Amino acid sequence: MKIGLLGLGTIGSGVYEHLSRRDDISVKRILELVRHPGLEHLETSDFNEILNDAEIDTVVELIGGMEPAHTFTVQALKAGKNVVSANKLMLSHHMEQILTLAREMGVHYRYDASVGGSIPFLYNLMRYRGADRLVGLSGIVNGTTNLILDVMQTDGRAFDDVLAEAQRMGYAEANPSADIDGIDAMCKLSIASAVAYQKYVRPEDIDTEGIRHITAGDIIHFKKMGRVCRLIASSALNADGSVSACVEPTLVPDASTEAAVRLNNNAISVTGEYFGVHTFMGQGAGKDPTAFAVELGLRDILEGVSPRLNPIPEGYARIDNAAAKRRYYVRTSAPLEIAASALSGGAYVTEPIGVRDMHRLAKKLRETDPGLFFAGISE
Ligand SMILES: NC(=O)c1ccc[n+]([C@@H]2O[C@H](COP(=O)([O-])OP(=O)(O)OC[C@H]3O[C@@H](n4cnc5c(N)ncnc54)[C@H](OP(=O)(O)O)[C@@H]3O)[C@@H](O)[C@H]2O)c1
């Protein structure tokens, strides 16, 4: 197997190192903007050199972002090359086009590494959905936010302080928005839900709230409530065929599985009508765990796993978050105007309210209180 590797950043360099130890998969060309000492003979800045190289059967896309990743992926698939990627942002916005094109061309598009890093979650979701009706997904899919929440809970430190340390240690990006505003989790939930329910879920249809506004004072309230805050991505197949889907900070009981997920780990549960609940836990990101997931995808292709493992969803899900109701912790200086009991310091616990209603209310209240924080309270 001959690889054209796009991007030699965190994950790309991990994949290069892993593949250097194998003799059945070799990197023939690397697309990079800058040159790396010792690799100049492989490097190019022109994607056409990979596209037009008939010996390269598989493109590993690890440049990330929307463009040119999307264009390169489409061109590679149209040229009859397999593509293996970890790019959840691009895939979640172009999933129908990419999966359909790969199926038409009879090639692989493997995206195992895009959700859950090294955890064999998507792969098993693809297998499960052929044998059971999957009705729910829920879990921690962003390691950066879990690390921040876990350290805040343990050490009582302020959000900005913990975020700055996570950035210094390389756990958070210089621009942390994708993580702390829940966008990364939203993209992952969109992809996993499409696989589980066989209907595409548009990322923009998912009610999404991040952890940007959480304070050390909020954590003190959660401790008194016997709760721990986690950023939970969840979706469910409703009885009428619609799908509910949201990403939001959630207060889980101290003794729950989610509370036991420490530091930058991930844990994702899938519910099937027959098998019940399975939870997958482990390293959801990072150089070696993610490179491992990419390598697994490559090995599957090499060993002849059928591209038909990859399901092709039919149409788009109707998202209905009105029926999903829960109590919320809300801390705001704005008048709340819904039924709620007051805690101290401008914090409240609401009566059960629809997920969509709560996200809309928070948007409206932020016009007067931009620092408002809210979190669902799990039953
Ligand atoms: N990091 C993780 O833990 C993790 C986990 C799961 C999935 N992923 C996904 O894996 C992908 C790669 O992430 P990463 O963390 O490895 O990102 P990264 O460190 O920023 O690496 C991206 C690399 O691609 C290069 N690049 C960007 N645009 C290019 C272009 N047009 N032509 C050639 N090279 C280009 C960049 O070069 P410059 O630096 O010179 O711009 C950089 O070396 C992303 O889709 C990400 O979402 C990452």
Which domains are assigned to the chain?
A: 2-110 (3.40.50.720), 123-286+317-377 (3.30.360.10)
- Asked if residue 7 has its Cβ within 6 Å of ligand 1, the reply is yes
For ligand 1, atom 4, name the residue with the nearest CA: 285
Instruction: Give pLDDT tens digits along the chain (379 positions).
Output: 999 999 999 999 999 999 999 999 999 999 999 999 999 999 999 999 999 999 999 999 999 999 999 999 999 999 999 999 999 999 999 999 999 999 999 999 999 999 998 999 999 999 999 899 999 999 999 999 999 999 999 999 999 999 999 999 888 888 999 999 999 999 999 999 999 999 999 999 999 999 999 999 999 999 999 999 999 999 999 999 999 999 999 999 999 999 999 999 999 999 999 999 999 999 988 899 999 999 999 999 999 999 998 889 999 999 999 888 999 999 999 999 899 999 999 999 999 999 999 999 999 999 999 999 999 999 8
Q: What is the pTM of this model?
A: 0.97
Pocket probe mutation, ligand 1, options 44, 63, 147, 287, max atoms within 8 Å of Cβ: 63
* 251: phi then psi, degrees, rounded to nearest 5: -90, 110
- Asked if residue 289 has its Cβ within 6 Å of ligand 1, the reply is no
Full DSSP string of 350-361? EPPEEHHHHHHH
Strands 373-377 and 82-85: unpaired
Residues, the chain, total? 379
- Asked if residue 285 has its Cβ within 6 Å of ligand 1, the reply is yes
Q: For residue 213, which amino acid is it? A: H
Indicate which atom in ligand 1 lies nearest the CA of residue 143. Answer: 3
Active site residue 188: yes
* 140: phi then psi, degrees, rounded to nearest 5: -100, 110
Provide the 10 A C-beta neighbour count for residue 238. 18
69 CB burial (10 A radius; 0-12, 13-18, 19+) = buried
Strands 347-350 and 353-354: unpaired
| Token pair 């990979």: residue | 50
Structure tokens at 338: 């819904």
- Asked if residue 84 has its Cβ within 6 Å of ligand 1, the reply is no
